[in-house]
Chains A and B, each alone.
Chain A
Amino acid sequence: MSIPSSVEPPARTEFEPKVVAFVCNWCTYTGADLAGTSRLKMAPNVRIIRVPCSSRVSPLFITKAFERGADGVIVSGCHTGDCHFSTGNYYARRRFAVLHELLGFLGIDTKRITFSWVSASEGPKWQQVVNDTAARIKALGPFDQYPSQRGDWS
């Protein structure tokens, strides 16, 4: 039986990106909490994973997020000088610098990753980071390029 041409195809649902945010417990998580309690409106695409310090974020976390189907990643911690552990984010910054440039060298769009420093009092900044990232990833579309969980065997 042929499908009558009068039937409209179902409306395509708009692409909603999945963004994983690795945030430090002491600044950004508290800042995100402040954004929430302040009732700031934020894109609902971001899933937060709380870590003890931004230097806890291994590049493996980021590749794993992409492998599991994340379209974008946010990594956020305390401003330099404000680390709960004094120096953690200085080390993290060096690591992220190398990671950032290596991703570019491999041809991965570095716009997929947002690094930011958001302090506990910067609720509005967190709102902006979330909204900007979600909008940017939405514009970029799904991250099909990254070989994901069901990576085809070559």
Chain B
Amino acid sequence: MNELRELARKLLADGTVKVVIGYESVGPAGWPEEGPRGVRPSFITDPSQADKLVFDSRCVHNLATYLNPRRSHIVKLGKPAVVVKGCDARAVAGLIRECQIKREDVVIIGVRCGGVVRDPTLGGGLTEQNVSDRCVGCEEREPTLCDYLLGMLPPAPPASTRHADKLANLEAMTDVQRWEFWSENLSRCIRCYACREICPMCLCVQCMADKNRPQWIDCSPTPRGNLAWHMMRVLHQAGRCVGCLECERACPEGIPLGLLGRHVAEVVERRFKYKACEDPTVPAPMGVYRPDDGEEFIL
């Protein structure tokens, strides 16, 4: 923790960066003994404020989303340094891959991560019940795309089959059951677009959902609008989604959006041998092709 604060102080003091994007504690120190909520994204511009920075298993947020150039109010702060976990580094790589940011325009502070919690309010720290679905089977607890790598490697997060079970369960259903499942879940969508706003990979200056000439997608929460929106959002993320599940966390209605993303990611991996990675030079799968791509579904 001190390592992180000292580095942030140094980077700000010598003018390498203008803002450090990290996590700050807003409650009394100490986790999990302290109050349940207590960590939020923080934008440190003054070296004297660097002591606010923390990193622990409550730091669920994917801060790569703040590098997204559509967030012009953060771009205005100046050159950023950003604290990333291994999974977040995949999103930074995605932004570089898609020419949204330049590698040299951002200082990446990697932190070794032992997993984050699903819901900080449950308390009790990192348990099998409370580990975030995205941490299960994590292979990138140590980011490789970074300028600095901090901390000791903590033990691996507890194993959980919750997410895999849900997905397997859904795939085992009949079409009719799956349709009922998604109709029920998507009918709860209030179209607040929190899933879009939090997504580090949603880049469009004007989203298709905001366009009305023609109106591709109903903007009111009607069944057909909800279906079209979630279907198109996940298709736009095909081969781009980094699996951080921030959409699912941000959703006020608890719609399992992560399952859609995970399913498409599996399709992309199986068909196009591509997995979200920390190497920005690997081309995005939907932007390239192979002459021998499978076409068993085409007459």
Cβ of B166 within 8 Å of any chain A Cβ, yes or no, is no
| B299-A105 in contact (CB<8A) | no
B224, A151: Cβ atoms under 8 Å? yes
Chain A residues near B144: list those with CB within 8 A: none
Query: Which size bracket describes the interface of A in this complex?
Result: 35 or more
CA distance A147 to B264 in the complex (A): 22
Return the contact of A115 from the options B170, B272, B298 (Cβ within 8 A). Answer: B298
- Report which of A64, A101, A145, A147 forms a contact with B222, defined as CB distance below 8 A: A147
16 contacts between A and B (CB under 8 A): A80-B295, A93-B295, A94-B285, A95-B238, A96-B297, A97-B271, A98-B268, A98-B271, A101-B263, A107-B177, A109-B175, A115-B298, A145-B179, A146-B224, A147-B224, A154-B223
Contact with B along A137-154 (1 / 0, CB 8 A): 000000001111101111
Chain A residue nearest in CB terms to B267: A101
Q: Do residues B291 and A107 form an inter-chain contact, with CB atoms below 8 A?
A: no
Are B289 and A87 interface neighbours, CB within 8 A?
Answer: yes
**In whole angstroms, what is the CA distance A148 to B228 when docked?**
11
Q: Which residues of A contact B178 (CB under 8 A)?
A: 105-107
Q: Is A44 an interface residue (CB 8 A)?
A: no
- Identify A67's interface contact among B170, B224, B238, CB under 8 A: B224
Closest CB of chain A to B264's CB: distance in Å? Answer: 6
Q: Which residues of A contact B187 (CB under 8 A)?
A: 154
- Contact: A147 with B223, CB < 8 Å? yes
Q: A147 touching B227 by the CB < 8 A rule?
A: yes
- B33 CB–A CB distance under 8 Å: no
Nearest CB in chain A: distance from B255 CB, A = 13
Taken together as a complex, chains A and B put the C-alpha atoms of A107 and B294 apart, in Å, by 22
Contact, CB under 8 Å: B232 / A60: yes
The one of A81, A114, A148 in contact with B224, judged by C-beta atoms closer than 8 angstroms, is: A148
Contact status B293-A94, CB under 8 Å: yes
Are B293 and A93 neighbours in the complex by a CB distance under 8 Å?
A: yes
- Chain A residues with CB below 8 A from B234, complex form: 102
Residue of A nearest to B263 (CB): A105
Identify 11 new A-B residue pairs, CB closer than 8 A, beyond the known A60-B232, A108-B179.
Answer: A60-B208, A60-B217, A90-B289, A93-B298, A94-B285, A98-B271, A98-B286, A101-B264, A105-B260, A105-B263, A107-B181
* 1/0 contact string of A74-101 vs chain B (CB within 8 Å): 0000001100000100110111111111
Minimum Cβ distance to chain A for residue B218 (Å): 8
B148 within 8 A of A: no
Shortest distance between the CB of A35 and any CB in chain B (Å): 15
- A91-B286, A94-B286, A154-B187 known; A100 and B297 CB under 8 Å? yes
Cross-interface CB contact of B235 among A59, A110, A147, cutoff 8 Å: A59
